[in-house]
Structure 1
């Protein structure tokens, strides 16, 4: 196990030294969730709980619930929440087979970092925990259906995904969700985005919007050791700022 700091040390989380490890993606995802104090939030596939804990630092007084099918990671999420003083319910279950207690609940926000990779297009990871987190078994369409069902009318869905999977993600949205907005995350100015963050609202009817990309790093290339994040991204990663979102 390792002990890892997030948000400039505001979150400290235990993670497997070998296996699936939350990183920048989880922090950026949490920063994109437009939650407000007092609201309810559900994370699908919460792993060791890092994303939800980062969200709790930025937005106080949330009712947090996480679903994680891998028992060791669910246990880590409970431990990490307790160590960081965050009240969070962790449910050990597959998202396709939720317990009745969860099927009877609705949430203001549902967010997720679904597996990035189709295993018809790549090799499986050697570590079972990492493979379960990164290799798709449950189709994106099911992730989106489960998320949509758990949202209250007017509730927000927030998802991060690799660019090559965005067509699948967009196809998985149906007419229950609208006003979808996609924020590409470009590694540097002039470079193609590798990730995108999607937000959509249940029951909304607005047209889809492709937003200008958020550039993560300064300069045309990596030239020196040390951080090169742009000031807005550094504020997200180190000061628990919200992800800059056009129109917010």
Structure 2
């Protein structure tokens, strides 16, 4: 259960610094090895390269145009990852290695959110008892003792035993039944722009695990970074292995994105 929180924490902690909207690359730097990732192919134009982890997770590193809408471009990547494998290039399939680990992390995230909600409920009950009041939330239907809600500046948690929704700053976790989705989106400064008043870059993470996946896949996701004006460096991940191997390659994927994305 620690894996999703560790991945989210490391992702949030690695927001970079930066200084000009002019940062842009035409070709990727694709080392033969990056930690547990081994390069298996590089496109002729240098805009994509594919990696594979020792346990078969697939990662595709790509340059993605934003066309002035970075979040819209990433939304398309999310849709692509959750579509049929045949719609992806070999490089894109390879890119799924990193997301594999993150999605495994997301699966654990649901259980972690349940534990978090239980602890919040316990504290609320103790506070209510001390104040001589009854505990439990209210869902509008009369009985909401199984609903836990926390609304604080920058922190919003809702959990009812079946579904969990967490909003903590840039981190969003939505869990329902077998499905868990994690999104992290941060505006950041580009490399060399530590003193800039504008954050021209972004870092983003997406993880999805659940029943709405192509046959055989256990989790998908991406790590992205770069100037909002584009191109973004996006590492797409897919894995058919239901393990926490993604925790091991998460740092490797981040290194590939940071090296090329300039964040």
TM-score, normalized by the shorter chain, greater than 0.5 = no
Task: Compare relative contact order (CA 8 Å, sep 6+) and give the higher one, 1 or 2.
Answer: 2
TM-score bin (small chain): under 0.3
TM-score under structure 1 normalisation?
Answer: 0.25
TM-score, length-scaled by structure 2: 0.24
Larger Rg: 2
